[in-house]
Structure 1
């Protein structure tokens, strides 16, 4: 089923720097109609979103209103993306990470962890495998924030079945909230940060924390949801940040990648572009599926209320309105921007905006039986290990059979390798493609050969230990009889749905009103 991409706007309070400058507040919000009013020297400008959150709003409100349903969808097997964008110092990292010392201000990422493990615990007849990765894009280089060598530059690859992925990115299985939080903390401490005049702890890189939720139903079928939690580095103006040297180089790369993101969105909005420039930056390449693919996407526009940041806030709001207006299957669409000549709070402007936005759709689908599911590999290994320690040994193979199997496997590998060489020599494949396919082929061969070798040298104690280790990775059903917890999940879903319906009703009324 097609559905809209959703964009919300969050305005933080004035910070100490803005208070010292005696800044005036130039942002107002109408929460009932989800509108932002930006007031400057000229006519006020107005923007409509899927939700607006003023200075007193908490991270808990934002999560429950708009992120909670998305995470439920990820657990069902959908892909999801939540990302925060805005100028430097606007509260993006705070929105994503939050403040653990204030319960209501715990960020989107830690709330997601709690939510996922609460959901898996209350689901019966299903086993889950949860694993995570954490990367940053620093100066247009991809680095693994949880890897052994954090200086290693990773390559972005594309596979016919896996889609766009980062080769060599480490994956970490988590079986509880604590493990996820520890990995987030570890990776966060490895991010590139630096002081500027706008923000003493400014993120100098884009980061993507990805949670994979694989579920095996009692029927044996597998579903795999994937959630990207993205904290973008902020757009910067050198005159304000005082960036020089490395800071200036970082700012240049940040602004170029954000410009590429804007170009992708503009191409999708335009509907006439045959080419969408995903490859213009590492950021847009990695978010390709989130911007026009099989993903439910939420964007959090973070803004400052200070008149000192008027231009940057206007830029973010314009970007947000463009974000709302794009199609997965693009058609001709008018670009939505603010209309200075229209009375800011008029029904006319509200209706015109909503009328355009309601037709903007994505086409996410449940990912059923993915071939690259880690859970499937674990299940197959568990079955093989159990067969190896059967008392009667009827399901195990003797050494001669195993040797024949090894020779057959080796012959198949060499045959496939020769075919790859022939394709390269006849220029059917590029060198890069050949190397990628060889690496995948070698990985499959090594894994199968290792399994055969292990079967030759069965150590019952080691097999039992490996079995226990694998089975401990699965979660699910620990709180299956906790009816109170189940009802709380249902209540949160219903509350979020009611809020969306109320907002849709307000916009519909606005459209009806202006027709008279």
Structure 2
């Protein structure tokens, strides 16, 4: 299967106070050099540990700066070039997902680092004009809510467009001119997020959240023509999978946990369908989460998954489940491409075809070439392409209307 694989890394947090009080053994061994995570079964300590290999593995002494530098930086850099990117953290409740994604006063998370990265890239690139906008939503009990809207309790509908795909109707977008603007939006949204205490986590996220940054850019060429590109970055903080027996959830907490587990199960089913390839049907519609992540799993996006682990023997089953989940996700193939003005894509395709055919005429390329856009054999003569592409490019009246869709 062609395409770009979803990148998957694992990160194991230190023992928390609850696990120390239980005198729980450490059953996770991380080898950052080999990018492996080994899991020892507490009931069979003499048996060989289960071993998994990923694109990166980070132990208890790791810091988010290193994680971002290794795997976050290249993805966000691509967004600044016009690609779509998604970063999401997965794992049981209390495993450090929000710490990795959002961080704290002592250690900035992936999200604030991405803010800084984007605005640093924009400030140093004087060749383009930029427009940066952000939105922040949560999925709570299978309802989508705008965390930055005037009424953050209103449930929003998902719509689907043939070009821009699945989107949230009436979601508010906010222009950002500096890092502080993004930070303010994040702080405002976090105050509106649904959180609650469980036995496993005093500040457990009771919803999935997606902070999205759209980076639109315009560059003018030597002839005064404007060329547009658009990147989109989804920063996803998933609620944790959990067992009622461990969290002590009752009432509203139990209802929330049920919805959380159902949506995470739907996410697992989507991953399985994409990896197995046995069925043409991928069940994206089984939850709001999977619909919103549809393009991030098998679509036009560069995707990074961070699997958060507990080292404690008390969480063996949950940790094994997370590792298996992550191990399957790394086999998903996406098809990322630059989001740009259709006229620029068409011009570049024709120019590539001219280049290939010139090489053919010079005997430096095989007769059968591959069209960049269609990925099908082409047998176009150089004369025909020149007829399609005027010497000075397409005139304004010949060019398609500029439309950039974020997907």
Q: What TM bracket, shorter-length normalisation?
A: 0.7 to 0.9
Find the structure with the greater CA-based Rg: 1
Give the unaligned 5+ runs of structure 2: 344-407
| TM-fit CA distance, 1:163 | 1.1
Structure 1 residue 369 corresponds to structure 2 residue 341: yes
Q: How does 1:461-480 map to 2 (within 5 A)?
A: none
SS at 1:319 equivalent: helix
SS at 2:200 equivalent: coil
Q: Which has the higher strand share?
A: 2
- Which residue does the alignment assign to 1:82? 87
Runs (4 or more) in structure 1 with deviation over 3 Å come to none
Q: How does 1:143-292 map to 2 (within 5 A)?
A: 143-219=145-221, 220-292=226-298
- Which residue does the alignment assign to 1:95? 100
> Normalization by structure 2: what TM-score?
0.81
- Which residue does the alignment assign to 2:404? none
Partners in 2 of 1:322 and 1:65 — Cα distance? 21
| TM-fit CA distance, 1:124 | 1.8
SS at 2:5 equivalent: coil
Partners in 1 of 2:187 and 2:332 — Cα distance? 34
Deviation string for 1:94-126 (max 9, x for gaps)? 1000013x2xx2100000000000000111210
Q: How does 1:15-414 map to 2 (within 5 A)?
A: 15-40=16-41, 41-42=43-44, 43=47, 44-100=49-105, 102=106, 105-219=107-221, 220-327=226-333, 362-369=334-341
SS at 1:76 equivalent: coil
- Which residue does the alignment assign to 2:356? none
SS at 2:87 equivalent: strand
| TM-fit CA distance, 1:151 | 1.0
Partners in 2 of 1:368 and 1:257 — Cα distance? 33
| TM-fit CA distance, 1:289 | 0.2
- Which residue does the alignment assign to 2:374? none
Partners in 2 of 1:112 and 1:189 — Cα distance? 20
Partners in 2 of 1:288 and 1:73 — Cα distance? 19
2:87·2:304 contact (CA, 8 Å) conserved in 1?
Answer: yes
Matched residue pairs, number? 334
Partners in 2 of 1:237 and 1:5 — Cα distance? 28
Partners in 1 of 2:132 and 2:244 — Cα distance? 41
SS at 2:296 equivalent: coil
Deviation string for 1:240-277 (max 9, x for gaps)? 00000000000000000000000000000111111000
> Normalization by structure 1: what TM-score?
0.64
- Which residue does the alignment assign to 2:13? 12
2:137·2:146 contact (CA, 8 Å) conserved in 1?
Answer: yes
